Structure 1
Amino acid sequence: MPSFPRLRRVSICVLTAFLTCWVHPLPTFTHADEGMYLFNELPTALLQQRYQFTPTQSWADELRLASVRFNSGGSGSFVSSNGLVLTNHHVASDTLQKLSTPERNLIDDGFLARSFDEELKAPDLELNVLISIEDVTERVQVAVTVTDPESAGKQRQAAITRIEKESTDATGLRSDVVTLFGGARYHLYRYKKYTDVRLVWAPETASAFFGGDADNFEYPRYNLDATLMRVYENDQPATLPNFLKWSETPATAGDLVFVSGHPGRTQRIFTVEALEYLRDVRLPFVLDYLRRKEILYQQYRLEGNEAARRGRDELFGIQNARKAYTGMLAGLQDPQTIAAKRGRQDRLKAAVARSPELAPYASAFNEIAQIQKEKAALLGDSVKLRSDLFELSLAILLMTQEDQKPNLQRLPEYTESGRDSLLARLLSPAPLYDDLQLTKLTDEIALLAERRGADHPLVSEILAGRSPREVAAELVDKTDMDVVEFRKRLIDGGYSAVLASDDPMIQLARTIEPTYREIRKIEDRLDEREKQAYAKIAKIITAVEGTTGYPDATFTLRLAFGTVQGYEENGRFVDPTTTFGGAFEHAALHAGQADFDLPESWMNAKDQLDLSTQLNFVSTADIIGGNSGSPVVDRTGKLVGLIFDGNIQSLTSDYLYSDQQSRAVSVAGVAIREAIKTIYNAPELASQLGK
């Protein structure tokens, strides 16, 4: 399922701002292939019972060390000993956009490097490989000695910051403490970082997103949504001991497959009240925002060919998110969804009422219900304008302010352990186009005025008697925040340099910063209260239902499994696989519709292609946004596919999984190799795959 680079990841991680890390019910409550399992707690007994397969430790380790997380949002895998990384075209699109120019449109036209020298360096991409996992639950929990949400949150965050810094200092690895099971457990994840990442091959959008928005989240599909990059060390292709071998045979119906990736966020065990908040308040709010932005970028792209190129990735991300959230909302609006959740919640409450030992946790359900009301009251109060120039300005202001504090007291994203990754983002040389920035900032200021009212003191101070467009135009015209060297001088100069700066975008950030911090403080307090409440419910579930299966997704590495399997839809059977021949037939069926025009490269190679070669397939593996680019492997650990989407029925998987119709959609491994070799005439590159 698309992982939303740029707005796609924003829509998951920022727009929704969903709290996660729920415990999951017992396997007896799950559907057949449900589960996003921790690599240090794989469901070995379940796999043996259901599929007569037990993954060995070496099998799991090799898969883990070949799996990659993209900091732009998404997953990938190492697929050769000389540094090749496989991911989706739509995961790579953020990089493709940044590397494009008016003369070279990499997203639309594709790219192929025929030698190492031709490979293009990504401006700000970081790839993470999970090296180790350590349970640090006790260290975090003993540090919390108070119950007041604000004080408890500070103590917990200080403990997490201390653990992360100690780990980074001792190992040199990126170190992140991950909250699991509603705060019942905490794991320290250590990652090796690759920051020299170069583009090797990308197909045209016409093949990667064949069928356009009409086919998005549908099936059958005929997409080559794949891209190859390469990681470098010391300016040379990295030598990798762990990479995926490539299967020479396609996946077939009934095959057991595994997905190793980084699912973003799930809310599988939210209370009924939390789901009702999503259904009635949060998701409609997000959808209104997305529809507004969709119109905005559609209009911007009509200004000319260059505007169409510059705004392409923004619009695609918006449209993708809009369709995804529409499906999520439709699932929540199905009365059976809430009824099923309510039935389980009522059973848990009844068990609590009968158990004196569980009585201290009984208030958790009411606490969560109250928090949803407080969230609703805050909705629309955000002042973090979603414009690149402003976000850079606010981040630099906040970072230099936080640098004045001891490391343990800083906001989590500004602690020392994440400094290198933060600086890479703030000092990215990726281009920032004035006309696109003007469009973004104008609409964000206008939206702030709409939500708060034109007479609100903050809005009045920003507008100062001018229109949103006049304000934005002056800011974009006079700021130097689009110049990397200027941003670096501010960072190096610290808070005093930021305070002394007369840059108008910095001045805007200073105007908004007090309100931003005030709102964030309230949100953090709610977050801590909700975390404590969910931790209580986690204890209830464990006591009532037994051992829990897996925690909700946290954009960390998980293993899912399932079988290649078709499904029934509208009275007909949907075959689990498609072929290259089917793609040409699909194009002919939709002749005259631009989104169904296969690129010239495909048409030229049609006679040389084996049209019976598998192109896409579906499986029952449990995936969600963030899994895009995840490798699909067979029992032997060989790559057979590449996750790139889910069907429309899978869009409820944020909070409810069912294998009746929900399917994960993959590009077949045999299709990727055949396309590179035959369509793109790069047999030498194809021969590197899996070797």
Structure 2
Amino acid sequence: MLQSSTILLGSLLSIMAVSTVVRGDEGMWLFNALPLKHLEQNHQFSPTTEWADHLRLSSVRFNSGGSGSFVSSDGLVLTNHHVASDTLHKLSTPERNIIDAGFLAKQPSEELPAPDLELNQLVSIENVTERVNAAVAADLNSDEASKARRAIISTIEKESLDSTGLRSDVVTLYGGAQYHLYRYKKYTDVRLVWAPETKAAFFGGDADNFEYPRYCLDASLMRVYEDGKPAKIDNHLGWSDQPVANGDLVFVSGNPGRTQRIFTTAAFKFLRDERLPYVLDFLRRKEIMLQQYGLEGIEQKRQARDELFGIQNARKAYTGMLAGLQSPQTIQTKQAAEDQLLSAAAKDEGLKPLTSAWQQIADIQIEKAKLLGQSTGFQSRLYDIAETLVLMSAEDQKPNSERLREYGEAGRESLLQDLLSEAPIYPDLERAKLADELARFVEQRGGDDPLVQHVLNGQSPQERASELIAGTKLADVAARQTLVDGDRTHVLASDDALISLALLMEPEYRAHRTRREELEEQERQAYTKVSEVTAAIDGTDTYPDATFTLRLAFGTVKGYQENGQTVQPWTVLNGAFEHAAEHEGQEDFDLPESWLAAKEKIDGHTQLNFICTADIIGGNSGSPVVNREGDLVGLIFDGNIQSLTSDYLYSDEQARAVSVSAAAIREVIRNVYQAPELADSLGK
């Protein structure tokens, strides 16, 4: 329906927030703009404010990437094994490999503190769009506008932190058409309670990753503490042991990472032809490097294991995303919808001037392509620490409103928690990673480049990496603390080899970042126009792209057709043993000894994994799946291979979200891991 172009954008977005014109159950919905009419008309369900608030407050975000939920009144948090793997890796030692062998705290005193984990509970949302826009004058160029926007956002975040004590983040929505202030309660004393073996959590390994049917127990439990005691949680999810049924309506409350559904055809082509191929080349390189390091020995394999898993998982996901974009039908469908939209806009004198945004975005993609491959730093934990210390020392000299955003006062506590983490750092692994990064730097710029020659200092990448790692003390937390406590002069006077390298690279980093933020500002302004045109004409973009902030998705438990066969919507515990037998001799399909020993004790008919049509992407890992009553019935851990285009296109024909059944989690904790008290406490 063609709407009047004189309607203000804020009104348009209000209309979008309550629109019932959606495609199936598509949507990653804001908790302050739920699709109430759609749910009522299509599912005969009307969530109350209390229902939504309880689910929001029962949900948490992991700073390591992923989601989770409170599942007991004494602080138990449920998430995936692969979301917890960062913590499991940091807690592992050569003598006790928790990430592979699993862990169970039989009593609270045995629960293991996570070195640097932060969980965020979304307490409130406030629309601050008018204040942000009022601070950015229309006549500013992109650089000035970016600085003005960054300044007001930093000011809002700092004011909120000072007045509430809560973590405060201003979130950009609808391509820059709205800004919302999210306030979070932070939990930083988080302890590991239970994790199964990798063989159970990642059963099927890379071969079954993003496939279905699945037979994984990708789950773990942590606990949040306050004042040294298990936290008292007012909002936690009840636990359902009932299996889901075909057609059941379920809800997913989590933090999807980033989607690009608002992107134009030109932006899709940039992803297809430039960005995704570049990322895949990078991931393949890192995968080979980490595999080669792991071949040096058992301990080296353990050290590299978590990062290698993340790289392999990302490689497979990006491969699926690129395949979707390389299908001509994807671009043709997007182009046809865009042509129809622009044709309608051209007939409206108020909207017609806004259509220039599409060409602006196309021009920006050309400039973004030029930035690909321009390394301004080196990906290793020790270099990241050095770079952070260098940048922080400079940013601390500026007023809060002028700092790079991550160095503002609002995020200071979280920044320092990561910077001063006690998590182990492995010098040999750091040396291998840095050598590979230096070699890539030479390949990108050429050996005769003056900066390359300055960085290498007359040595090969391998020799230089060895010298740099030998010449740094940043693996020692006390050495980092000394530089944090000092000021810019202390950093400039440091003789630490990696600090010196980061100082050398700092001008390059800042120049690249300034250019990138200029392009982001130009793109933000253009997409604001795209949002206005789209909302005025058809009102179908009823939810903003994902931003790794809390969203509500929903769908039904439903199978699908593949290769002429019906894929059933769930698997059972017995199926895991059958799947293992069918793949005998393949290491990734070996169940752990604990499962084999307990086979006769467990109810093999218990639902293990199930699928639904809920709209999810990366970042939703660990999200609770709840029923109409708000009780937990499952735990998101994956999507099938057909869902990998969901970053930019939703479809419920074959794409499915994959969950671990709540019933299986309790059954296995009780009868495989022999922890009946822990099993009984779930949902209590």
Q: 2:602 aligns with which of 604, 609, 634?
A: 609
Aligned to 1:140: 132
The reply to whether residue 281 of structure 1 matches residue 308 of structure 2 is no
Aligned AA for 2:438? I
| CA drift at 1:107 | 0.6
Aligned to 1:130: 122
1:302-328 deviations in Å (ceiling 9; x for gaps): 111100110101111111000000000
| Alpha-carbon separation, structure 2, partners of 1:44 and 1:31 | 15
Structure 2 residue runs without a partner (length 5+): 1-12
8 Å Cα contact 2:18/2:36 also seen in 1: no
Q: 1:31 aligns with which of 3, 23, 33?
A: 23
The reply to whether residue 685 of structure 1 matches residue 678 of structure 2 is yes
8 Å Cα contact 1:36/1:553 also seen in 2: yes
Aligned AA for 1:418? G
| CA drift at 1:546 | 3.0
The reply to whether residue 368 of structure 1 matches residue 344 of structure 2 is no
- Equivalent positions of 1:9-408 (< 5 A) are 30-145=22-137, 146-408=139-401
The reply to whether residue 624 of structure 1 matches residue 617 of structure 2 is yes
Aligned to 1:13: none
Question: Is the partner of 1:86 in helix, strand or coil?
Answer: strand
1:272-327 deviations in Å (ceiling 9; x for gaps): 00000100111011101111111111111011110011010111111100000000
Question: Is the partner of 2:417 in helix, strand or coil?
Answer: helix
Aligned to 1:10: none
Cα 1:283/1:374, change in 2 over 3 Å: same
8 Å Cα contact 2:71/2:683 also seen in 1: yes
Aligned AA for 1:120? L
| CA drift at 1:635 | 0.1
Of residues 149-158 and 205-214 in structure 1, the stretch that sits farther from structure 2 once superposed is 149-158
| Alpha-carbon separation, structure 1, partners of 2:668 and 2:235 | 25
8 Å Cα contact 1:265/1:555 also seen in 2: yes
Aligned to 2:466: 473
8 Å Cα contact 1:490/1:497 also seen in 2: yes
Superposed structure 1 runs of 4+ greater than 6 Å apart: 23-29
- Equivalent positions of 1:429-468 (< 5 A) are 429-468=422-461
Structure 1 residue runs without a partner (length 5+): 1-20
Aligned to 2:572: 579
Question: Is the partner of 2:549 in helix, strand or coil?
Answer: coil
Of residues 463-472 and 643-652 in structure 1, the stretch that sits farther from structure 2 once superposed is 463-472
Of residues 335-344 and 594-603 in structure 1, the stretch that sits farther from structure 2 once superposed is 335-344
The reply to whether residue 655 of structure 1 matches residue 651 of structure 2 is no
Cα 1:156/1:172, change in 2 over 3 Å: same
1:375-414 deviations in Å (ceiling 9; x for gaps): 1111100222111111110011101100000000000000
Of residues 345-354 and 422-431 in structure 1, the stretch that sits farther from structure 2 once superposed is 345-354
| CA drift at 1:360 | 2.4
| Alpha-carbon separation, structure 2, partners of 1:327 and 1:429 | 36
Aligned AA for 2:40? Q
Question: Is the partner of 1:311 in helix, strand or coil?
Answer: helix
Question: Is the partner of 1:267 in helix, strand or coil?
Answer: coil
Aligned AA for 1:433? Y
Aligned AA for 1:434? P
| CA drift at 1:52 | 0.2
8 Å Cα contact 1:581/1:612 also seen in 2: yes
Cα 1:26/1:331, change in 2 over 3 Å: farther
Aligned to 2:531: 538
Cα 1:39/1:240, change in 2 over 3 Å: same
1:411-461 deviations in Å (ceiling 9; x for gaps): 000000000000000000000001100011000011011001111111000
| CA drift at 1:557 | 0.3
| Alpha-carbon separation, structure 2, partners of 1:633 and 1:349 | 40
Percent sequence identity over matched residues?
Answer: 64
| Alpha-carbon separation, structure 2, partners of 1:606 and 1:270 | 50
Aligned to 2:5: none
Aligned AA for 2:408? T
TM-score by length of 1: 0.96
Cα 1:24/1:212, change in 2 over 3 Å: farther
Cα 1:43/1:633, change in 2 over 3 Å: same
| Alpha-carbon separation, structure 2, partners of 1:258 and 1:619 | 10
8 Å Cα contact 1:568/1:661 also seen in 2: yes
| CA drift at 1:530 | 0.4
8 Å Cα contact 1:175/1:417 also seen in 2: yes
Cα 1:78/1:382, change in 2 over 3 Å: same
| Alpha-carbon separation, structure 2, partners of 1:24 and 1:226 | 36
8 Å Cα contact 2:569/2:610 also seen in 1: yes
Question: Is the partner of 2:655 in helix, strand or coil?
Answer: coil
Aligned to 1:638: 631
1:135-165 deviations in Å (ceiling 9; x for gaps): 0000000011133111011111111111100
| Alpha-carbon separation, structure 1, partners of 2:416 and 2:429 | 23
Cα 1:289/1:607, change in 2 over 3 Å: same
Cα 1:116/1:570, change in 2 over 3 Å: same
8 Å Cα contact 1:79/1:244 also seen in 2: yes
Aligned AA for 2:580? A
| CA drift at 1:26 | 9.8
8 Å Cα contact 1:65/1:129 also seen in 2: yes
Question: Is the partner of 2:351 in helix, strand or coil?
Answer: helix
8 Å Cα contact 1:85/1:230 also seen in 2: yes
| Alpha-carbon separation, structure 2, partners of 1:494 and 1:76 | 38
| CA drift at 1:644 | 0.1
8 Å Cα contact 2:570/2:607 also seen in 1: yes
